[in-house]
Amino acid sequence: MNLPAIAPESPDTVLSIALPAALDGRDGTNRAHGGHMQIAADNDIEAVRVWLAEYAGSPHTLRSYRKEAVRLLLWATQALDKPLSSLTREDFLLYERFLAAPTGNWADPARPRRGGARRLFDGPLSERSRHQALGIVSGLLSYLVSAGYLAGNPLALRRRTGAATRRAPRIERYLDHALWDHVLASVEQWPRHTARDHQHYERCRWLIRLLYHTGLRVSEAAHAKAADFYQRRGNWWLHVLGKGGAEGEVPVSAALMADFARYRVFHGLPPTPSGNETAAAVMSVAGDLHKHLTPAAVYLIVKEVFRRAADMLARTDSAGAETLRRASTHWLRHSAASHQADAGTDLRFIQKNMRHASIQTTGIYLHAEDDQRHAETVREQSENQLPHS
């Protein structure tokens, strides 16, 4: 099956694909009729664009949701010869099976990961990833039903399995204290022979500390300004504009402010930021004081830090090295919350620091109690084990 070319998309592009006129959903069998439309969309692409536009202020969420929308639109039209607005519950049963085993050009490793001819899958999706993908798609369909575009959401009929309804598991995508210490130590071994090397070292050194100590999301770190750091009652805080435009405040330690001062002095700035300056908290790769890194650049820099740290660890700790190779920017946010919980920080404070809507979300970072339970259980078993007579 030959997939159509997909126009390259920047983070600011909502959706750039084209569908055959006969499959654009204008006459979809699941289109709503007789009610009052809440959106001005005549076809499926236009309707999906409106939905995606709701997430324009959250670049990471937008990219994730756009990916799932593109996958579904192309699969429906190419595999079933149907528009999105004609899909039935039976069709989505087929789609779930497809996500578990995409074949042919859908996952062709010869195709690039980016660009118009990119592959849409790196391989089969895990059960968790399939559940997440279908959850995003169900959210899209529910939105279009509420907007008066679709008559119903076929995924609303989906049976909730035990895997979908059980309590969220403990977070595992984080670095334990030893691995985090290794990452910090490994950066200090980077070469600084040229001005470019030194600038890159200082940027990476500061960025990973900023992400870890504040728990910022990648887009929040990319757009942070020096003026967002401010003092109140002798303490430093960081003002954060988060998901959906929500504002928050994160405590900043004296140690992190010292790291910030070092980074600023390296770039010829006063060690302490002022409330009226326009400099970025993390400057662009070119070193321009007033240009921010993009979220993609933040992601790639952190991946490089983890890759180099993994290379240094590979000979002595292959499992740790493999963990670092899988790690990404969001692992630093998870690590921040996990280490705060390990230190006994009140869950209410961690919730505010991470800007979680629910304290139940914060609870998934509690690992110390599990560690203690494991240690005491294993010790008791060892002490009670009698030698064979």
pLDDT digits (tens, 9 = 90+) for 82-113: 999 999 999 999 999 989 988 777 766 666 55
Whether residue 161 sits in one domain with residue 268: no
Asked if 58 and 81 touch (Cβ cutoff 8 Å), the reply is: no
Express as a percent the part of the chain with pLDDT over 90: 44
Whether residue 133 sits in one domain with residue 219: no
Whether residue 288 sits in one domain with residue 143: no
| pLDDT at res. 17 | 78
Segment 228-233 mean pLDDT: 92
Whether residue 283 sits in one domain with residue 187: yes
Domain boundary among 135, 165, 195: 165
- Report the distance separating Cα 135 and Cα 112, nearest Å: 27
Segment 176-192 mean pLDDT: 93
Closest CA to 226 of 218, 211, 238, 243: 238
Whether residue 263 sits in one domain with residue 301: yes
| Residue 63 resides in a domain | yes
Whether residue 289 sits in one domain with residue 251: yes
Domain count, the chain: 2
| Residue 373 resides in a domain | no
Q: What confidence category does residue 346 fall into, taking pLDDT thresholds of 50, 70 and 90?
A: confident
- Report the distance separating Cα 310 and Cα 319, nearest Å: 10
- Output 308 or 135, whichever has higher pLDDT: 308
Tokens 């004081």 map to which residue?
289
| Residue 8 resides in a domain | no
Express as a percent the part of the chain with pLDDT over 70: 79
Q: Which residues contact 378 (CB under 8 A, 6 or more apart)?
A: none
Q: What confidence category does residue 8 fall into, taking pLDDT thresholds of 50, 70 and 90?
A: very low
Asked if 353 and 341 touch (Cβ cutoff 8 Å), the reply is: no
Q: Which domain holds residue 209?
A: 177-367
The CATH number assigned to the domain holding 211 equals 1.10.443.10
- Say whether pLDDT at 217 is over 50: yes
| pLDDT at res. 61 | 80
Whether residue 125 sits in one domain with residue 271: no
- Say whether pLDDT at 20 is over 70: yes
Whether residue 257 sits in one domain with residue 117: no
Whether residue 84 sits in one domain with residue 26: yes
Global pTM? 0.54
- Report the distance separating Cα 83 and Cα 383, nearest Å: 65
| pLDDT at res. 287 | 64
| pLDDT at res. 370 | 53
Segment 142-160 mean pLDDT: 87
| Residue 4 resides in a domain | no
| pLDDT at res. 263 | 95
Whether residue 188 sits in one domain with residue 144: no
- Output 384 or 53, whichever has higher pLDDT: 53
Tokens of 66: 């756009």
* pLDDT, tens only, 159-181: 655 444 444 444 467 888 899 99
Segment 58-63 mean pLDDT: 80
Whether residue 351 sits in one domain with residue 300: yes
* pLDDT, tens only, 273-299: 988 888 999 988 776 777 888 889 999
Q: What confidence category does residue 130 fall into, taking pLDDT thresholds of 50, 70 and 90?
A: confident
| pLDDT at res. 372 | 53
| pLDDT at res. 108 | 60
Closest CA to 88 of 151, 148, 22: 151
| Residue 75 resides in a domain | yes
Whether residue 197 sits in one domain with residue 285: yes
* pLDDT, tens only, 355-371: 766 555 555 555 545 55
Q: Please give the angle made by the CA atoms of 20, 155 and 161, to the nearest 5 degrees.
A: 140
Segment 221-228 mean pLDDT: 92
* pLDDT, tens only, 22-39: 999 999 999 998 778 899
Q: What confidence category does residue 342 fall into, taking pLDDT thresholds of 50, 70 and 90?
A: confident
CA distances from 125 to 29, 80, 288 (A): 29, 20, 40
